[in-house]
Amino acid sequence: MKKWQQRIGNWFTEHLDMPADVVLELPRITTIGHFHAYIENHRGLVLFSDNELRLRLNTGFLRITGESFVLKVMLPEEILLEGKMKEFKFIDS
Amino acid sequence: MKKHTQDIYFTGYVTVLIKGDRPELFFNQLVQEKVLVWDIIKKDSQTCEAKIRKQDISKLRMQRRGTGYKIQFRSKHGFPFLFTALLHKKPLLLGIAISILSIFFLSNTVWKIEVRGVSPELEHQIETRLDEYGVRLGAFKLTLGAPVDIQQRLLQDIPDLLWIGVQEKGTTYSLEGVPKTIVKEEEQPGPRHLVAKKKGVIVDMFVSEGVAQVGVHDYVEPGDVLVSGLIGNEPPPVNKDEKDKTEQKDTRKHVAATGNVIARTWYNVSAEVPLEETYTVLSGKQDNKYAIQFGDSFQLPIWGFGETEFKDSQEQTSVRHLRFLRWELPIGMRKTTEYERVTKQVKRTKEEATAQAEKLAKQDLQLQVGADADIISQKILHETIENGKVKLILYFQVNEDIATSQPISQGD
């Protein structure tokens, strides 16, 4: 069932030019330079510290490492991270 | 993000410390409960610092229950906290209150009285009167009457004033007066006759200039020349035939005839007086009520409660508004004065009514002929009682000056 949904979603994004994050419920990560990261559509905070942020996604986790992290805004499905980012990593569960 | 935190200063926010094992996970719970959290910093492995809105504090406490996390409040920000902090600073608060009160007080104080347009003596007189009414420097304006009242009282009390404008400009009373100027006699009236304005019989004459044309006991009609302004012999009537022969000149001198011609005149005056009459008068008793008025309608009585004991009364209200600097506040003092009204019923006998009617008629006539005229005699010509009214027709004899001037035309 899930696979099937994804395939329809893929078809939508490819043929109708619809944004992938909306159709496929994937996270959208916007970064401004290395100091702002705006993550939408996450599924919860798993870990947060001065130099690491780990978020749960629909598929696996997102791990951001860096320095002097501050969560400027935290909403149920959005997070604005501020600090000096070094690495974004997707981890499959 | 800015959207959330822009107005936060006005609602207030606090910095909290969350302590416990993996404190950041606590925020997951919070955001699910729609608690706005921002500026989250991890202090160490056991502590997180974050900011939340003041109104979310109770939600935070609710969420904490049973989790094992510990909450510490660090600092408070924003207007509500500032305000409560201010409330605890009694001397500051007192100072603010005193300053507002004094501005209030000073805004409602008379600071300046200007009198313009009158002579210094009159100005002094006005100032003395104003002082009597309480309008003086330093007086509290709420206790004073409205400018219109001051104006009326001044006009009543100072006969030399023709008109005075009283204006209230903030803390200044500005008065502008117009003194009565005594109009001097017309300079040198032109040549004129004195003629009769009413019919009558001359009783007395005094001619200071001109030639008397009538004598005492003469009967005159309106328009008759009483005192001529032409002195000298009348030229003989010009004969048509001799017209071109002798052209006699009018040698008479033209003067302004002056004098008093007192004549006896007569009048018929009718007067009516009802036998039974009801009328209302103010008894003079009054009751004052004071109330503080907010806006246009809400009133808070502060003095004089309850209904008046007057059965019938007439009400007069005046509202004085408080001022703050140059603004008039919607708060004011309302003074309501109730005057007792008494209905009086008068029943007159026929004689009383007649006497009353005579009196009325006489007063009426005196007004008509002027104060200088003397009413010599009166006589009731006719007396009827109709519809409960006594109706009189009276005959009066009056001695009055009937002379009026008539200019002599000097044309040609």
d(CA B238, CA B366): 48
Query: What tokens appear for B330 in the block?
Result: 């919607």
Q: Domain containing B153: what range?
A: 112-179
Helix (H, G, I), strand (E, B) or coil at B32: helix
Q: Which residue has the tokens 């009609």?
A: B221
Is there a domain that residue B241 lies in?
no
Interatomic CA distance for residues A56 and A67, integer angstroms: 20
Say if strands B327-347 and B276-294 run parallel, antiparallel, or are unpaired. antiparallel
> Which of A49, A56, A69, A77 to mutate to test binding with chain B, by most B CBs within 10 Å of its CB?
A49
Same domain, B14 and B61: yes
Give the pLDDT confidence score for residue B142 in this predicted structure.
76
pLDDT at res. B12? 87
How far is Cα B218 from Cα B399, in angstroms, rounded to an integer? Answer: 14
Q: What's the 3-state SS for B330-361?
A: EEEEEEEEEEEEEEEEEECCHHHHHHHHHHHH
What is residue B407's predicted lDDT score, i.e. its pLDDT? 85
Q: How far apart are alpha carbons A87 and A37 in whole angstroms?
A: 11
Interface probe for A, chosen from B28, B29, B48, B51 (most Cβ of A below 10 Å), is B28
Same domain (yes/no): B353, B330:
no
Ordered per-residue pLDDT tens for chain B, 412 residues:
445 566 778 888 899 999 988 888 888 888 888 888 888 898 888 899 999 888 888 888 888 888 888 888 988 888 888 888 888 888 888 999 999 999 888 888 888 888 888 888 888 888 888 888 888 888 888 777 788 888 888 888 888 888 888 888 878 888 888 888 766 666 667 788 888 888 889 988 888 888 888 888 889 888 888 888 888 776 666 555 555 544 556 677 888 888 888 899 989 888 888 888 888 888 888 888 888 888 877 888 888 777 777 778 888 888 888 877 777 788 888 888 888 888 888 888 888 888 888 888 888 888 888 888 888 888 888 888 888 888 889 899 999 888 888 888 765 5
Q: Which of B84, B101, B125 is the last residue of a domain?
A: B84
Say what the pLDDT of residue B283 is. 83
Q: Please, which residues 14-73 of chain A have a Cβ atom closer than 8 Å to chain B?
A: 44-50, 69-73
Is the same domain home to B354 and B307? no
d(CA B287, CA B304): 8
Closest chain B C-alpha to A28 CA, distance in angstroms = 16
Chain B residues touching residue A45 (CB < 8 angstroms): 24-25, 27-28
Nearest to B38 among A44, A46, A73 (CB): A73
Do B26 and B68 lie in one domain? The reply is: yes
Q: Which helix (H) or strand (E) holds B310?
A: none
Sign of the Cα pseudo-torsion (B169, B173, B174, B177, in order): positive
How many angstroms separate the CA of residue A72 from the nearest CA in chain B? 4
- Cβ–Cβ < 8 Å for B101, B31: no
**Is B289 within a domain?**
yes
pLDDT value, residue A38: 92
Inter-chain touch A45–B24, beta carbons under 8 Å: yes
In the Cβ-directed half-sphere of B126, how many Cα atoms lie within 13 Å? 30
What is the count of residue pairs from A and B with beta carbons less than 8 Å apart? 49
Contacts of B224 (CB under 8 A, 6+ apart): B195, B196, B213, B214
B38 domain-assigned: yes
Is residue B192 helix, strand or coil? strand
B33 with B65, same domain: the answer is yes
User: Which pLDDT does position B185 carry in this prediction?
Assistant: 60
| Strand, helix or coil for residue B60 | helix
Taking the C-alpha atoms of residue B105 and residue B18, their distance in angstroms, rounded to an integer, is: 52
Predicted pLDDT at A12: 74
Q: How many CB atoms lie within 10 A of CB B233?
A: 9
The reply to whether B356 and B304 lie within a common domain is no
ipTM: 0.77
- What tokens does B37 get? 């959290």
CB contact under 8 A, B39 and A45: no
B79 and B135, same domain (yes or no): no
β-bridge partners, B82: none
CATH numbers and ranges of domains, chain A:
24-91 (2.60.40.2000)
Q: Which residues of A touch B27 (CB under 8 A)?
A: 45, 48, 71, 74
- Single residue among B304, B319, B344 that ends a domain in this structure: B344
Q: What is the Cα–Cα distance from A64 to A50, expressed in whole angstroms?
A: 11
pLDDT at B1: 45
Could you say which of A47, A74, A75 has the minimum Cβ distance to residue B40? A74
Q: Please indicate, yes or no, if residue B17 is contained in any of the structural domains.
A: yes
Residue B285 lies in a domain: yes
Residue B378 lies in a domain: yes
Q: Based on the domain organization, do B311 and B351 belong to the same domain?
A: no
Which of B179, B207, B230 is a domain's end point?
B179
Interface test with B, best of A32, A56, A75 (most B CBs within 10 A): A75
Rounded to whole angstroms, how far apart are CA atoms B328 and B389?
56
**Confidence (pLDDT) at B287:** 83
B360 located within any domain: yes
Q: Least CB-CB distance to B4: which of A48, A49, A73?
A: A73
Q: Is there a single domain that holds both residue B122 and residue B162?
A: yes
* Sheet with B298-303: strands ordered across: B298-303, B276-294, B327-347, B313-324
Report the number of distinct structural domains present in chain B: 4
CATH number at residue B117: 3.10.20.310
B20–chain A nearest CA distance, Å: 14
- Inter-chain touch B38–A44, beta carbons under 8 Å: no
Calculate the alpha carbon distances from B263 to B207, B364, B406 in Å. 14, 20, 18
Query: Are A36 and A78 in contact, with CB atoms under 8 Å apart?
Result: no
Q: For testing the chain A interface, which of B38, B47, B51, B56 should be mutated: the one with the most A CBs within 10 Å?
A: B38
pTM higher than the cut 0.90 = no
The SS3 call for residue B170 is coil
**Quick check: A47 and B27 CB within 8 A?**
no
Interior angle at CA A12, CA A10 and CA A17, nearest 5: 110
